[in-house]
Amino acid sequence: MDAMHFDMEKIRGLRKYVTVSHSNFSFHINFFLMLEAINLSKKYSGHDALSNLKLTVGQGEVFCLLGANGAGKTTTINLFMNFIQPSSGHVKVNGLDASAQPQDTKKHLAYIPENLSLYGNLTGLENLQFFAGLGGEKPDKSSAENLLQSVGLQSDAVHKRVSQYSKGMRQKVGIAIAKAKQADNLLLDEPTSGLDPQASNDFAQLLQEMRQNNVAILMATHDLFRAKESGTHIGIMKAGKLIHSLDSDEITLTELEHLYLETMKSESHAEVNH
């Protein structure tokens, strides 16, 4: 029973993978879109946090959302997580509507929040076991240890209380929790803020690993360098709108920086002229 993957034409911002599997002489064709935002809007009284967002993140893609504070990055993540409801439009995870089927969609989502906090009085291992157990199967001690090792947490830290961890160590536990879920999709909110260069690098490597495992990753970040380095797609947001969306290899880092600053400046000019 081979699953044959066809690479469809590259359509700007859209990738379709068609999985065909046959068993008992019947063919099933699934159109498998991973993360989808369809005309997604979120309005609060007074301002539009998000206006008509359209984006797709497919398997193995890393979509980096760049933008200033209040641009709508975190709002987007929160909408995918069903922490808030959209004012209009849809959020789809593996084809499921996030607001209609919140518990089911969460099964396919792993999430690492900005300012990841864990239970300080539990060890890294215990935190992993707890959260993973909530998500599905509680990993036993050895698989949990292996998982923590695989994300680069030193073995002597595994049994220490999280209150003694650095931010980078906590983030590793967060990634382990995400990995344990074995979800198809991963949402990250400012994952590298506050990390030292070593930890940041470790993080990038883990990201690549997950990407190679065909996880669809949506990442909100300030970090232009990381976005260019780890991302396959980059989106620049401003005032709730996705202004630019481009492939990472279409642009150099310097160009990206230039584009970003221009966007921030010019858009504000445009707004003022309104």
Partner 1 sequence: MKTLFHILSFEWKTLWRSNSLKVLLLVVFGAGIYGIYFGKFEIDKQQKRIAKVQQYERQQFDSLMLWVELDTTITSNKEKYQQAVSPTGVGWNKHFTYYLTNNAPPAAGLCLGQRDLYPVYYGFNVTDLARQVNTGELANPMKLLTGNFDLSYVFVFLFPLLVVALFYNLYAGEKEGGTLSLLQSQSTSLRTILFSKGLLRLTIIWLLAAVLLLLSFALQGISILENGELFFQWLIIIYGYCLFWVVLMGAAVALRLSSALSAMLGLGIWLIFALITPALLNLFVLANEPLPNRAEMIHAVRTLNGRNWEHPKSFVWDRFYPENPQYNDGDTTNFSKWYYASFTLLDKEANALKAEFEKQVSKRNALLDQWQWLAPAAMVHEKLSTLSDTDRESHLEFVKEVHAYHDGLKELYYARIFKGEQFSSDDLQTLSDKL
Positions that interact with partner 1 (CB under 8 A): 81, 83, 103, 106-107, 109-111, 113, 115-122, 126, 129-131, 133-136, 138, 161, 174, 177
Residue closer to partner 1 (CB basis): 35 or 110: 110
Nearer residue to partner 1 within complex by CB, 165 or 260: 165
Nearest by Cα to 154 from 176, 136, 139? 176
Place of tokens 């002597």: 156
Cβ closer to partner 1: 50 or 178? 178
Rounded Cα distance, 195 and 271, in Å: 34
Query: Which is closer to partner 1, CB of 95 or CB of 120?
Result: 120
Task: Give me the long-range contacts of 202-207 (CB less than 8 A, separation at least 24).
Answer: 202/152, 202/168, 202/172, 203/168, 203/171, 203/175, 204/229, 204/230, 205/152, 206/151, 206/152, 206/172, 206/175, 207/62
Closest contact distance (angstroms) between CB of 25 and partner 1 is 35
What is the closest distance, in whole angstroms, from the C-beta atom of residue 128 to partner 1 in the complex? 11
From 32, 68, 14, select the one nearest 247 (Cα to Cα). 14
Give the dihedral sign, CA 213/217/222/224.
positive
Residue 262 CA to residue 260 CA, distance in Å, equals 5
Give the torsion sign (CA, 56, 57, 58, 64).
positive
Contact 242, 55 (CB under 8 A): yes
Nearer of residues 50 and 183 to partner 1, judged by Cβ: 183
In the bound state with partner 1, the residue whose beta carbon lies nearer, of 114 and 229, is 114
Closest contact distance (angstroms) between CB of 208 and partner 1 is 23
Task: Please report how close the Cβ of residue 129 comes to partner 1 at its closest, in angstroms.
Answer: 8
CB of 181 to partner 1, least distance (A): 8
Tokens of 235: 């989106």
Smallest gap from residue 186 Cβ to partner 1 (A) = 11
Of 132, 220, 213, give the one whose Cα is nearest residue 178.
132
